[in-house]
Amino acid sequence: MRGAASLWRKQPLPFACHSRTFVSDSTSKLRIFDRQRKRAQRDRAAWSTPLHDPLLHSVAQNLLDRLQDCKKTFPTALCLGGALQPITRSLSAPPANGGVEKLIVMDASYDMVQACRNAYPASPNNAVQKEFLVADEEFLPIKESSVDLVVSCLGLHWTNDLPGAMIQSRLALKPDGLFLAAILGGETLKELRIACTLAQMEREGGISPRVSPLAQACLIVRDAGNLLTRAGFTLPGVDVDEYIVKYESALELIEHLRAMGETNALSQMNNILKRDTALATAAIYDSMFSSEDGTVPATFQVIYMTGWREHPSQQKAKRRGSATISFKDIQKQFGSQS
Amino acid sequence: MVRGSKEVLQKAAKTLTDILVCPLSKQPLRYCEESNSLISDAIGVAFPIKNGVPCLVPTDGKILEEEDASKHDSDTNLSALNEESHGRSA
């Protein structure tokens, strides 16, 4: 009982200063994420990310597998932020890359773009022409109807205005162009979130959002479908995959998140993380979630979204009430046969 | 064949500028050789080209001094940019 009581003990909550900054920010525009901070984190990630990150690689593969299901080819492709290198690698190999002839690689971090450029230098015998560009997904500098394919691999979940960014991607697409995106969903890092909350309640007597931005406002599959429709994409498709990554300890998990540039960038986050809170988080994580072989698992939920820009050749649902045959008749017809 | 490859490079740069527009006003960009930057005439902002990579993040842009007239006639997004650059210079 005593332990439980100390877990819930009340202390003055360190929220006062945060609420003030939130008010001043919300006057102009709702700002959930600090894009400038995210840019700096991605600059750092450009130097520490391994060339073949297995998680990013498998997500990118899974995302680009969808191209093989299309009969259409995509001569001009735009890669919007996120995992640049796996996407660039897959799209520049001629077989099974959706017929991409020209690839525009874009990211908000200059160092990330430069690292990708150094890893895949232009060579005359390479069929795929690559262009590099530093730009923000929220302010897409691409002319209307100019690309055939937009791919975003684990980048869009950091945008403040996700529908806005998706609408801009749709406008950049040619008619019958394809939009492919993978974003992290609400179940991502649930173990870390639980551990953080418990450690903060125990050590500081209150909680501040330390991991929750990755939760992306608990985006679920239905929301993703709504997002695609709201952004005006036709033939929307959504599916979800969960990856469980095993780490030696919680500290390796944090290192991996840093190398991917996926650490917290909430604009009203608490900038101070006390050492003993961090260690308590790691200890709680290890004790609550470690498996029999001594590793600790971390869940990454990835939501894959597919959408097309409108084109007359695409199939459409008929107007409501335009049917000439009743379902009852169909049932009679086929019901009597069986 | 050096000249040929140079032409190819120039052509490649040109195909990219054909696709690019100003991130804020979505109006065409003009390439300025002198300052090696892409200029959006609609809002009077110059975006730098670093090492052959155009940087079109709104906060990277610099407001051009001489174009006072065209500064204020663009859309609402510009006010955000103005605020940010004032904040930086202050």
Distance between CA atoms of residues A12 and A204, nearest Å: 9
Residue A142: which CATH number? 3.40.50.150
Burial class (CB in 10 A: 0-12, 13-18, 19+), A3: exposed
Q: How far apart are CA A24 and CA A17, in angstroms?
A: 11
Radius of gyration of chain B (CA): 15
A130 HSE (CA, 13 A, CB side): 27
Q: What is the CA radius of gyration of chain A?
A: 23
Cβ–Cβ below 8 Å for A139 and B57: yes
Distance CA A146, CA A142 (A): 7
| Domain enclosing residue A238, as ranges | 26-321
Look at chain A and report how many structural domains it folds into. Answer: 1
Q: Which domain holds residue B30?
A: 2-89
CA distance A66 to A152: 13
Residue A15 lies in a domain: no
| Domain tally, chain B | 1
What would the two tokens of residue A153 be?
Answer: 């691999």
From chain B, which residues contact A within 8 Å (Cβ)? 5, 12, 15-16, 18-24, 26, 28-29, 50-60, 77, 80, 83
Evaluate whether residue A331 is within a structural domain: no
Q: Name the closest residue on chain B to residue A137, using Cα atoms.
A: B57
A17 domain-assigned: no
Q: For residue A328, tell me if it sits in a domain.
A: no
What are the C-alpha distances in Å from A13 to residues A207, A236, B72? 8, 44, 44
From the list B21, B51, B83, the residue facing A141 with the nearest CB is B21
Q: How near does any CA of chain B get to the CA of A136, in Å? A: 5
The pLDDT tens digits along chain A (338 residues) read: 343 333 343 333 333 333 333 333 333 467 788 888 889 889 988 888 777 888 999 999 999 988 888 888 899 999 988 888 888 888 887 665 778 888 899 999 999 999 888 887 766 566 788 889 999 988 999 999 999 999 999 888 888 888 889 999 999 999 999 999 998 887 888 888 888 888 888 888 877 766 655 444 445 677 888 889 888 999 888 888 999 999 998 889 988 988 888 887 777 777 777 888 889 989 999 999 988 888 999 999 898 999 999 988 888 888 888 888 888 888 888 876 65
Residue A48 in tokens:
């520490």
Helices (H), B1-90: 2-19, 77-89
- CATH number of the CATH domain containing B70: 2.20.25.10
Residue A223 placed within a domain: yes
**Tell me, what's the ipTM?**
0.72
- Is B20 in contact with A133 (Cβ distance < 8 A)? yes
